[in-house]
Chains A and B, each alone.
Chain A
Amino acid sequence: MSPVNPTRRQTLGLTAVLAGALSLAACNRGGGEAGAEGGGGGGTVMLSVSTQTNPFFVQLVDGARKAAEELGLTLEVQDASDDASTQANHLQNAITQGVACVIVNPTDSDAVSASIEALNAAEIPVIAVDRNATSGELVSYIASDNVAGGAQAAQALAEAIEDTGQILVLQGVPGASATRDRGQGFTEEIANHGDIEVVAEQTANFDRAEGLNVATNLLQANPDVVGIFAHNDEMALGAIEALGPRAGSEVFVVGFDGTGNGLAAVEAGTMHATIAQQPGELGAQAVEQAQTVVEGGSPEAEVQVDVVVVTAENVSEYL
C-alpha cells in the first residue's frame, strides 16, 4: 500500500462526504417528484413542533397525524422541546434526510428563520403552522388569528360582566408573540367598552401554578375585580383556583386555547369562556397543504383557521 500523507487523506475524506451529501440531495429532489414511495424519506413530510408538553401542541400533532393517515402521507414528527437550537438541528436533519416537505411550528419566529432559509436553499418547501417566521420563504402559513382571538375574548368577557367593572389580565411569557398578539387584540377591543377598567396586567408565564399565585396577589390588591382574562387556559385554570367558589358566579374568567382542561372548566361553569384555536384543525390544514405541495400542486399562501369562542352553550361540540 502506498503511503498517503495525512493531509491528503483528510482532503479525500472530506471530498467523499461532500460528494455523498450532494448526491443524496439530488436523489431526494427526484424522490419528491416521484411521490411517496422509496426510502431515504423521499415522500416523507417532517413536522417539527415546538413542544409536546403543552396539550395544545399535542392536539395539533394529533390532528396532523390523523390527516396524514387519511391522505396516506408519511409524517415524521420531531419535538423541539421549546428549544430553538434543537429545532434548528431537526430542520438540518430534514435537509440531510431530504424530506419532500417540512411543516414547522417555530419555537421562535426569529430563530427559525435561518433554518428556513437553509431549507429554501435545499429547495425543500416549508409550511409554517401556528407561528410565523420573520424571514425565509414559506409556501404556506396556517394560523389562527391571535389578534382576532384576543378581541373575541374581550367581547366575551365584556358580555359576561355587562360592560362594566374592573378586570385583570394574566399575560403570557413576556415578549412571546402569542402574548403580544392576544394582548394587543384584547386591549384594542376592551377600549371600546368604556366602563371596563383593566386594573392590573401581570405575567404568569403561561404556567398554572404561577397563574394561581399571581391571581391571588392581584385579587388581594384589587378585591372588586369582576373579570379575568388569561392569555392561555393554564393560567386561567390557576386563576380559577385562586378564586375558589367565586369563579363563574362573581368573577368571570376567560381563557385561551381551548385545551381539554380548559373546555372541562367551561363545561363545569368555572371558566366563562375559552377561545378555542382548534389546534387539531391547524395540524390537519398544514398536512393538507403539504399534500398539495408533495403532489406538485400550488398550496394556499395563507390559511386562516377559525377561532371559536367556546362557552357553556357550545362546549359540547368541542369536548
Chain B
Amino acid sequence: MTAPLLRLDHVTKTFGPVTVIDDVSVDVLPGRVQVLLGENGAGKSTLIKMMSGIYQPDGGRILIDGNETHLPTVKAAEAHGVATIHQELNLVPQLSVAENIMLGRTPQKLGLVDRSSLRRHASAALERIGLRVPLDRPVGTLGVAKQQLVEIAKALSQQARILILDEPTAALTGTEIDQLFSVVEDLRADQVGMVFISHHLDEIARIGDTVTVLRDGQFVQEVPADTPENELIRLMVGRDIEDQFPRRAPEQPGDVLLSVEGLSSEGHFEDVSFEVRAGEVLGIAGLVGAGRTEVLRAVFGADRYDRGTVAVAGDQLPPGDVGAAIEAGLGLVPEDRKAQGLVLEHSVQDNTGLATFRRHARAGLVDRAGEKRRADDVTSRLNVRMAGLGQPIRNLSGGNQQKVVFGRWVLADTRILLLDEPTRGVDVGAKVEIYELINAITDNGGAVLMVSSELPEALGMSDRLLVMSAGRATGVLESNTASEDDVMALAVSNIEPAQTISSEGEAA
C-alpha cells in the first residue's frame, strides 16, 4: 500500500463544551477516492475544514507526506496542494472562464493583463479535465455543473494533489454527474488523492474506493465503497432503515383536487396539463431546466403564466396570486429552503406560523398564545428536534427545517401540497420521516405534487410520474411499473441541441 498524501491522525476538535470530532483518523491516498459518510452534524465538514486549513485540530496531528504539518490558514493548505471544491462555488460570476481560472495569479506584463498568457494557461487547465467551454464566457452564464468543473480546473492548475469535493453532485443532473465522475476517473489515474462527500449512496459505490463512516463526531468504521447501501445506512444512522421509500397509496384515489389545463409560460414551459386526485402523489421528473420548478411555482401563483388554467376542485384560481392559492388549500415547499422557505434568523415558532398568523389574527392583532400552542402542537406531531420554539431556525438541521416548512402547511389545512425537491440536504433518517409526512397527507385525503431530481425518490414516492422535457410534458408513467430508463427516455425526448444550451443558461 502506498503512503498517504495526507493523514488526519487521531484528530479531535471541540467548540466550547461540544466535541464535534472525537479521535478520528482519515487517510487520503494518491489515486484513491476516500468517501466521508455520515448524517448532517456527524463531523464531515469539520474534518475537511481541518484538511483545508480553516480549522486547526485541538488534539492529534495532520501528516502530509508523512511529516507532521500545521495548516494555520487556507493559503498554507493550498501551498501543500490541498484544494477544496465547496457546495457554494468560489467563482466571480461576472468574470470570464479564463479570468476565473487564473484569479489571484493573473499573468501580467508591464502592469497590464497579459491576455495571451492568461488564455494559454486557462486553456491548458481546461484541457487537463477535458472541459470544453469558451474561455471568454462569463462564468455566471454557465450551468452549475460547468462552473464546478471550471473550479476543479482552477484547483488543478494550482498544482493541487489533494482535492476535496464537498457534495459536488448536489446540484447536478445525471449526465452532468457522469461528466464530473469521468473527470474524477482521470484524476485518479493522475494519482490525485480525493476526498468525496455525498448524500447519494449510489454515487459512493460508483466513484469511491473506501468509505469512512462517522456518527456524532466519532469514527464508526472504514468499509469498502461497494458495501451494500442498507449496510451503509445502518452504519450511518446507527439502526436499520427497512424501507427507503415507504410510499403507502390509498386503495382508491378520490376526486380530482387539482387540475391544470394547457399551462404555458413563454420561455419556461408550454401546454402542460395534468390532474392530481385526492390521496394521490403525482411526481414530476425531468432534467434541470425542463421547467418543473417553474410549473410548480406557476400553479402556486408565485409566478405568472401566459395561457392555461389552474383549478382546485373545479374552481379556477386567479393567476399570479399566492394568497388565493393558499386560500384554496395549496401550499408550496420550495426548492431552496434557505432562500425561499425560511426566515432563517427567526424562531421556529415564527417560521411555523408564517402562513397562518394572518388568518388567526383578531382585529389585526396576532394571536400570540394561539401561535405558540399551534406551533407546539405541530412541531411535536412532526417530531421536530430542537431546543425550543424560540430557537432560531438557522440552528436546526436540514431535515428538521424541512419538517417546519411542512408543519407550516399542516397548520394551514393544506389539501394540495406542492413539493420541490423535498429531501434535498436532508439526512437519510429524516428523509424517511418526510416520506411518512407525505403519506399522512394523502391518507387524510390530500393530494401531493412532487418535483424530484432523484429518480429513485421520484419513482419510489409517487403514484404516477409526469415527465417533462424542455418545457413540455412528454408522458405520464405508472410509478410502480416504470423503470429509471423509461423516465430518462421521456426526459430527453424533447431536447434539441440548441435548447440544452439555453436551458443550461437558465439553470445558472
> Do any beta carbons of A and B sit within 8 angstroms of each other in the complex?
no
Interface residues of chain B, those whose CB is within 8 Å of chain A, are: none
